[in-house]
A and B are shown apart, each in its own frame.
Chain A
């Protein structure tokens, strides 16, 4: 067995610190994911009507979010808002806002795609049966759209969890930063610790994302 420097994990509180870092990453991404799902569905439904104002706004917003690296958005939200408006957001709040902006833009786009992919005949038959427009959405369009949405939204959430590693740039210490701290503090005593520590956080990320994809598979089966 090669020397992975795993002994650093049991020094002091190192392992607990890594778990704490994972919790920070999950807290930010899951809160943002929750906000993104709600906002994304509302926006996406609004944008699915062709040539509407909301679809134009969504397209500009998506464009901005797609061009801007998440790192730039984090800097703007954390440092930029202090300069421009004197707001003093904490790093975590700024991160949740940025991830929600990003998440709901992408989610809205997914919802728009799913809603427009439902054949027009579905809506027309529902209307012919006398359902009101809101009822058409509630009972006919959304249930079918949500089914098509599940794989991509799970993909989006896992991407959000992984992207939280950037928040260290605005002073939030999450799992990857804790890992670097541990590696650097032990560079002399355990020069190989980088392997062991990165291997450990790989397993932690996997264990955190795995339940999500399992749940998604179950839902797909049940509704599929």
Chain B
């Protein structure tokens, strides 16, 4: 009897979720640019706890690199911005249900995500970076000898990249940032490879370390995203990003929000103006 009941329950759940999924495919839920304008408010999803990209300061105000751009969008559209606190795990969901108009939450462009949402022109680069002690700065992977090891964190793009493209390099794998950093400080490996924003911030905060390879492998980009098919809004954002290049807007954004974390040296490698098309 018990198993029969369980089977029934599982079946009910399956039917419920399937019907929800089927309904999801059926209709679009986004607001067009005109509808947003008419409402007077634009909903923008940002991180609220990812300093320095999107966070809330001690006065309860949203701040950061993404937020700076979001405010400008609101200003140029003449609309009030309603910031919605999002998590990495629900960014796509927010757009698929039209609960926000734009996601500006350090959203890396990937082919899988591009199937579900529409990305506008990018406004920032991300790549892998390698940091090493000043006593022996590694400026290219070819400098590594057979005896050298490189620290990576399990499950990161850095690990995938090195396993795939440089299988000859010996890796030391750690599960947490704290352990990886301790290992580097103990001198158990020649270098540490990770997202370049991470290693740059690390080198700036810890004396005696330098990012010898600031950008390794394929460049990924960070871009605004809108609901799939919302062309009026997408085109407006693209035009806006192109227009803002004239005033070097994202350099100003960097200098206002990111410079404390990454310093001025990386401004040009991290910032993208005009979607990178102008250069």
Binding site for B on A (CB under 8 A): 8, 11-14, 17, 59-60, 63-64, 67-68, 75-76, 78-80, 82-86, 88, 168-171, 173, 177, 180-188
Q: B51–A185 contact, CB under 8 A?
A: yes
Q: A82–B51 contact, CB under 8 A?
A: no
Q: B48–A60 contact, CB under 8 A?
A: no
Q: A173–B29 contact, CB under 8 A?
A: no
List B contacts of A188 (CB < 8 A): 205, 260-261
Q: Tell me how many residues of B have a C-beta within 8 Å of chain A.
A: 41
Q: A12–B59 contact, CB under 8 A?
A: yes
Binding site for A on B (CB under 8 A): 5-6, 8-10, 12-13, 16-17, 19-20, 23-24, 27, 29, 48-51, 55-60, 63, 84-87, 89-90, 93-94, 96-99, 205, 260-261
With A82-B99, A185-B55 known to touch, is A63 a contact of B23 (CB < 8 Å)?
no
List A contacts of B205 (CB < 8 A): 188
Question: Which residue from chain A places its CB closest to the CB of B100 in the assembled complex?
Answer: A171
With A17-B60, A171-B86 known to touch, is A181 a contact of B55 (CB < 8 Å)?
yes
List A contacts of B12 (CB < 8 A): 60, 64
List B contacts of A68 (CB < 8 A): 13
List B contacts of A63 (CB < 8 A): 5-6, 9
Separation in Å of the B195 CB from the closest CB of chain A? 17
In the complex, how many residue pairs between chain A and chain B have their CB atoms under 8 Å apart?
Answer: 98
Question: Which residue from chain B places its CB closest to the CB of A17 in the assembled complex?
Answer: B60
Q: B48–A181 contact, CB under 8 A?
A: yes
Assembled-state Cα–Cα distance A60/B97 (Å): 29
Assembled-state Cα–Cα distance A27/B48 (Å): 22
Q: A168–B87 contact, CB under 8 A?
A: yes
Assembled-state Cα–Cα distance A174/B255 (Å): 32
Q: B20–A185 contact, CB under 8 A?
A: no
Q: A171–B60 contact, CB under 8 A?
A: no
Among A84, A169, A173, which residue has its beta carbon within 8 angstroms of that of B48? A173
Separation in Å of the B102 CB from the closest CB of chain A? 15
Q: A184–B99 contact, CB under 8 A?
A: no
Given contacts A79-B96, A171-B86, 10 further A-B contacts (CB under 8 A): A11-B58, A60-B9, A60-B12, A80-B20, A171-B94, A171-B99, A181-B55, A184-B49, A185-B49, A185-B63
Question: Which residue from chain A places its CB closest to the CB of B99 in the assembled complex?
Answer: A82
With A63-B9, A68-B13, A79-B99 known to touch, is A12 a contact of B49 (CB < 8 Å)?
no
With A83-B23, A84-B24, A185-B55 known to touch, is A173 a contact of B99 (CB < 8 Å)?
no
List B contacts of A173 (CB < 8 A): 48, 85
The 9 closest A-B pairs by CB, nearest first: A12-B58, A83-B24, A11-B58, A184-B49, A82-B97, A84-B23, A181-B56, A180-B49, A12-B59
Q: B20–A76 contact, CB under 8 A?
A: yes
Among B9, B17, B51, which residue has its beta carbon within 8 angstroms of that of A67? B9
Q: Could you name 8 residue pairs across A and B whose Cβ atoms are closer than 8 Å?
A: A12-B60, A60-B9, A86-B27, A171-B84, A171-B86, A181-B55, A183-B49, A187-B51
List A contacts of B59 (CB < 8 A): 12-13
List A contacts of B55 (CB < 8 A): 181, 184-185
Q: A13–B87 contact, CB under 8 A?
A: no
List B contacts of A183 (CB < 8 A): 49
List A contacts of B8 (CB < 8 A): 60
Q: B85–A168 contact, CB under 8 A?
A: yes
List B contacts of A8 (CB < 8 A): 58
Interface-centre pick from B48, B205, B260 (highest chain A CB count, 10 A):
B48
List B contacts of A170 (CB < 8 A): 90
Question: Which residue from chain A places its CB closest to the CB of B6 in the assembled complex?
Answer: A63
Separation in Å of the A148 CB from the closest CB of chain B? 27
Assembled-state Cα–Cα distance A13/B10 (Å): 47
Interface-centre pick from A64, A84, A169 (highest chain B CB count, 10 A):
A84
